[in-house]
Amino acid sequence: MVKLRRFLVMIQEDYHSQNPYHNAVHAADVTQAMHCYLREPKLASSVTPWDVLLGLIAAATHDLDHPGVNQPFLIKTNHYLATLYKNTSVLENHHWRSAVGLLRESGLFSHMPLESRKQMETQIGALILATDISRQNEYLSLFRSHLDRGDLCLEDARHRHLVLQMALKCADICNPCRTWELSKQWSEKVTEEFFHQGRYRKEVSIGCESIL
């Protein structure tokens, strides 16, 4: 329990409280939504404890150390993260690697075999990378193809993982599904963060762009 608490505190501290939207409250909101999805009877009867663990950790860490600006901004300003990840899923790769760092530093799963820990890190990465909005069609097309063929089988670990990816994607953008008061607050927060980025863009003279 001590290691778990340390891990959770580290997660909270690695989110930037000055971000109006991408902060620890957003992470908690997404984690709560993910928990609800995993509790849905049809899914709950098929997922394993391992699946649930991966899903909740990925949800809690999916925006870890978010800088409050989007990927195009990082690329256009030649940010070191854009260079490090070769302009590909820049934020999501950073969130994943940050999550791995906290997992290792906390020692939460130090009792597990090395191969199991590596597998966990890779699968958490695959979940977090699925939240990249620029790859939305890729994941939706794959999921729809299984639905159209009727061959989605939750006994297959690969298919369960795809469902976890879709669940996390839904949890990440579930704000409109909340009550009106909550949804309105989230809308105001994300708009405020977009305006902050707009001001940063003016400061570095790179013009306007899509908010996504």
CB atoms within 10 A of CB 196: 16
Binding site per annotation, positions for Zn(2+): 26, 62-63, 172
- Measured in residues, the chain has a length of 212
Cα separation of the two ends of the chain: 39
| Tens-binned pLDDT, residue by residue, of the chain (212 aa) | 899 999 999 999 999 999 999 999 999 999 999 999 999 999 999 999 999 999 999 999 999 999 999 999 999 999 999 999 999 999 999 999 999 999 999 999 999 999 999 999 999 999 999 999 999 999 999 999 999 999 999 999 999 999 999 999 999 999 999 999 999 999 999 999 999 999 988 888 776 555 45
Binding site per annotation, positions: 26, 62-63, 172
Helical ranges in the chain per DSSP H: 2-14, 24-38, 41-44, 49-61, 71-76, 80-84, 90-106, 114-129, 136-149, 157-172, 180-204
> Active-site residues: which are they?
22
Give the pLDDT of residue 207.
61
* Separation CA 62–CA 34 (nearest Å): 12
* Separation CA 166–CA 146 (nearest Å): 13
Domain ranges of the chain: 2-69+86-173
* Helical (H) or strand (E) element with 125: helix 114-129
Out of 3.40.1260.10, 3.40.630.10, 1.10.1300.10, 3.40.640.10, which CATH number does the structure's domain 2-69+86-173 have?
Answer: 1.10.1300.10
Tokens describing residue 182:
């909550």
Tokens describing residue 194:
């977009």
